[in-house]
Structure 1
């Protein structure tokens, strides 16, 4: 029998409490457990207040848990680290730096030589389709281009894990669909482990191998739904009846979590 492979990320009964304005305590995340495999693309959906962003912040080392722990490669997360890249809905680019200099920034902080920084940055700028804009300032870019720059910057420091908190949430629908395909193309070539938070059920199904559905008050795991669609994902898949059935299953889990699950129709 082959030895069991340890997960890349493991949430072990993770809880997080916060203080309310009136001095009371409330539970944002309640005994959340999840294992994510190395190289897996997992999406997380659920209603507002279900603890999605709290779980990601704990995995990133930005927020400590009140109970339980998160393990990365079997080691407990104690704080931020270069093994985890974080991408938020806000692009967080330095407005006075060009696209290339933004992508190089983490490498510069790490003390990498200038020629190496340039080569690595140019590789990822090309990977996200921004080579013609390498010398452009963020103010001249569209929202989608800014987010692609943020993704290239996260990849450039070579994290094993990408934690993405609604990175496409502020974009128009057409740009969003294009960036979903761009992200999957980049992921297929680099195969980093991705945990991607979204409010968009269709986006969750299109991107992931598994969709994690969370329930609110307090935030907890509701279900994990496997997406049995092969990669690369295509427009034909998005328009298929099987995709619609998967989307509907996730939709019911998010918006009607107390209803018994219906039998699959395909």
Structure 2
């Protein structure tokens, strides 16, 4: 049984007298401990797919399960990390990481120990007592990752978490994330618009197509871990990158953005 599974997932949004089909008949399974990246053109429904997995968006058709149980709303079995850091500015790094544990009723000693473990894991031990405003963008995102890990979710859902970072920080964060994942082996669904990032991080790359949003192709990434700068420079990486690039950007012409209600339109992504 897959850790997380989408079965026939569709999402249709009302649009005045018309409708917009964001997703259509998506079937996808993620194995336990697998790192799956999702990439596709604008409007292919990537973020809608993640929102459904997070329980923040209700599918119009189909279902999503985690460990065989249906997703009916947000839950502690899924940690969600967005592009915006969403840290409490008045709390320190430690306070932010401990916050969800405190809400869950975990005792002070245990939540302090658990928070410290993940603060150390993401390399923020020296900044545990710092406020978010004193941290760089990459450090804030590491704090958000530590907070998600500390809640002990079975699945991590990440929606373009490095999209707002500069190129160098983004590369460093990718390496940091893979290092953390290699130690913990959580199941990760990672949404991105960056082909290089999708190939570098994932065990598999899911290429979405728009008009309506659907899975066009799933590409295995047979590059060994740990991945390094040499991985990025290898001919094997280049070949995979080119294959994913062609799958994303050489898609058939999309349908017009708005059509009558009885027809499908392009996705929200």
How high is the TM-score relative to the length of structure 2?
0.93
User: In 1, Cα distance between the equivalents of 2:46 and 2:180?
Assistant: 24
Counterpart residue number, 1:9: 4
In angstroms, what is the RMSD of aligned CA positions? 0.9
Q: 1:23 Cα shift?
A: 3.0
Aligned residue for 1:186, secondary structure, equals helix
Structure 2 residue 28 is matched with structure 1 residue 34: yes
Q: By how many angstroms is 1:211 displaced?
A: 0.1
SS where residue 180 of structure 1 aligns? helix
Query: 8 Å contact 1:222–1:257 — kept in the other structure?
Result: no
User: Are 1:249 and 2:239 matched, yes or no?
Assistant: no
Summarize deviations over 1:227-249 as a string: whole Å, max 9, x none: 00111111111100110000000
Aligned length: 253
C-alpha separation between the residues in 1 aligned to 2:57 and 2:236? 38
CA displacement at 1:24 relative to structure 2: 1.3
Give the whole-Å Cα distance in 1 for the aligned partners of 2:64 and 2:172: 32
Structure ranking higher on relative contact order (CA contacts 8 Å, 6+ apart): 2
Runs of 4+ in 1 over 3 A off after TM superposition: none
- Superposed counterparts of 1:22-61, under 5 Å: 22-61=16-55
Partner of 2:266: none
Give, in angstroms, the shift of residue 48 of structure 1: 1.0
- How far has the Cα of 1:257 moved from its partner? 2.2
* Residue of structure 2 equivalent to 1:64: 58
Pairs within 5 Å for 1:121-200: 121-200=115-194
| In structure 2, C-alpha distance between the alignment counterparts of 1:24 and 1:12, rounded to whole Å | 26
CA distance in 2, matches of 1:93, 1:19: 33
Give 2:67's aligned residue: 73
Q: Deviations over 1:84-134 (max 9, x none)?
A: 000000000000000000000110000001011111111100100111110
| Deviation digits for residues 158-203 of structure 1 (CA, Å, limit 9, x no counterpart) | 0010000000000000000000000000000000000000000000
Distance in 1 (CA, whole Å) between partners of 2:17 and 2:154 is 39
Distance 2:117 2:4 in 1: 27
Calculate the TM-score normalised by the size of structure 1: 0.94
SS at match of 1:30: strand
Structure 2 unaligned blocks of 5 or more: 254-269
In structure 1, the gaps of 5 or more residues are 1-5, 260-266
**Structure 2 CA distance for aligned equivalents of residues 23 and 47 of structure 1:** 26
Q: How much does 1:19 deviate?
A: 1.5
In 1: Cα distance, 2:236 partner to 2:132 partner: 40
**CA drift at 1:205:** 0.2
